[in-house]
């Protein structure tokens, strides 16, 4: 039913302090790719703080959450990505399996499974991804294989976080054009400010194929700045993004911007609507890592059932609220959503 493709990462999560963020030049709330100056962050984190290892990777998180909401059938969600031949890769595979997700990994022997340092301070989290093997996803060696492409063709809804633009924009284009041809929804997430800033060409190529565009308030603001929207008003930004040219005119684009505890903004071409999130006491928040992914997972679980927009949003708010009460993007045994 649901197809996702992205970077399978093992999250290494800890509550850190401001000194640690400063040492590696991190903002309290951000998502970035690791570079030279982050080389020691993983080891340093393990040495200095009490760390937790959790299944991560943005799209894979959303697939796990969507599958959890869907329940039966098992393997309603399929996920493609690249891992290494190591213990982290095996852990990711096991977590996907436990979640009922049909994870079909490309396996490379030339790099270690990707990981992501999740540096939690209060309600904020700063993510530093070392893609490693995830960066080795090759369209011709995986997506194009007949048995894999058959799964793509079968799906009803497609979701790929913008993060994958740094790895295989061609794979994303192949899925996006198929979706348009078959009049099925292709959903994209802005994922992080650095993508609108540094992957503008890839984003521009994909946007005409995007039926549902997700993002949060920071990503929306950066996207608007990069595209010269000349406004900081999130409702106006959602309207302008909604109105960008579209390939498949049979399906009006939906733009969905979350804003943490503030209402979710949705533009559908006719109007902009605001949807309040579920209330939560600050002391009930464990960490916000994965909240956005969980929102998307909940939303998609209802989109595949062709539920009305209100129901998709309500499910997204429920899954996000569930995940922020827990460490990382993890879930209780069964959903309590009615």
Q: Which residues are tagged catalytic?
A: 293
Smallest gap from residue 120 Cβ to ligand 26A (A):
11
Give the residue with the Cβ less far from ligand 26A, 49 or 229: 49
Task: Give the sheet arrangement for strand 2-5, strand by strand.
Answer: 102-108, 77-84, 2-5, 157-161, 186-189, 212-216, 254-259, 262-267, 272-275
Dihedral angle at the C-alpha atoms of 36, 42, 45, 47, nearest 10 degrees? -110
Of 172 and 272, which has the nearer Cβ to ligand 26A?
172
Extract the tokens encoding 68.
């959890």
The residues of the shown chain that bind ligand 26A, judged by CB under 6 A, are 6-7, 9, 11, 31, 33, 56-58, 61, 116, 127, 129, 131, 163, 166, 289-290, 292-293, 329
Based on CB atoms, which residue is closest to ligand 26A, 69 or 180?
A: 69
Residue among 6 and 185 whose Cβ is closer to ligand 26A: 6
Q: Which DSSP string corresponds to 105-155? A: EEEESSSPPEEEEEEEETTEEEEEEE-GGGGG--GGGTTTSHHHHHHHHH-
> Using CB atoms, what's the residue nearest to ligand 26A?
56
Shortest reach from residue 261's CB to ligand 26A, in Å: 17
Q: Which is nearer to ligand 26A, 137 or 186 (CB)?
A: 137
Please name which of 236, 165, 235, 270 lies closest in space to residue 207, comparing C-alpha atoms. Answer: 165
What is the closest distance, in whole angstroms, from the C-beta atom of residue 194 to ligand 26A in the complex? 8
Distance between terminal CA atoms of the chain? 21
Report residue 139 as tokens. Answer: 């369209």
**Residue 28 C-beta: closest distance to ligand 26A, Å:** 15
**In the complex, least distance from residue 227 CB atom to ligand 26A, rounded to whole angstroms:** 21
Burial (CB count within 10 angstroms: exposed 0-12, middle 13-18, buried 19+), residue 77 = buried
């Amino acid at each position: 039913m649901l197809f996702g493709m992205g970077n399978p990462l093992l999250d290494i999560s800890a509550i850190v302090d401001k000194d640690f963020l400063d040492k590696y030049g991190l903002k309290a709330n951000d998502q970035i790719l690791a570079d030279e100056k982050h080389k020691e962050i993983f080891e340093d984190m393990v040495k200095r703080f009490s760390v937790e290892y959790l299944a991560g990777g943005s799209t894979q998180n959303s697939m796990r959450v969507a599958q959890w909401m869907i329940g039966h059938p098992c393997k309603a969600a399929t996920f493609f990505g690249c891992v290494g031949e190591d213990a982290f890769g095996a852990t990711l595979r096991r977590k996907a399996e436990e979640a009922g997700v049909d994870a079909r990994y490309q396996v490379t022997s030339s790099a270690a499974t990707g990981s992501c340092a999740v540096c939690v301070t209060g309600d904020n989290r700063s993510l530093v991804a070392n893609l490693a093997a995830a960066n080795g996803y090759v369209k011709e060696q995986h997506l194009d294989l007949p048995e894999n492409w058959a799964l793509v063709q079968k799906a009803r809804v497609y979701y790929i976080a913008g993060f994958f633009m740094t790895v295989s924009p061609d794979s994303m284009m192949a899925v996006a054009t198929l979706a348009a041809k078959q009049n099925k929804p292709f959903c994209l997430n802005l994922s992080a400010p650095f993508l609108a800033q540094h992957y503008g060409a890839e984003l521009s190529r994909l946007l005409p194929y995007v039926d549902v565009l997700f993002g949060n308030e920071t990503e929306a603001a950066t996207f608007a700045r990069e595209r010269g929207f000349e406004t900081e008003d999130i409702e106006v930004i959602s309207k302008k993004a909604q109105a960008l040219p579209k390939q498949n005119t049979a399906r009006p684009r939906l733009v969905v911007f979350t804003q943490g505890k503030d209402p979710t903004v949705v533009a559908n071409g006719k109007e902009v609507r605001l949807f309040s999130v579920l209330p939560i006491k600050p002391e009930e928040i464990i960490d916000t890592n994965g909240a956005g992914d969980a929102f998307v997972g909940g939303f998609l679980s209802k989109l595949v059932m062709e539920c009305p927009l209100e129901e998709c949003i309500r499910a997204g708010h429920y899954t996000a609220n569930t995940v922020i009460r827990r460490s990382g993007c993890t879930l209780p045994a069964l959903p309590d959503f009615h």
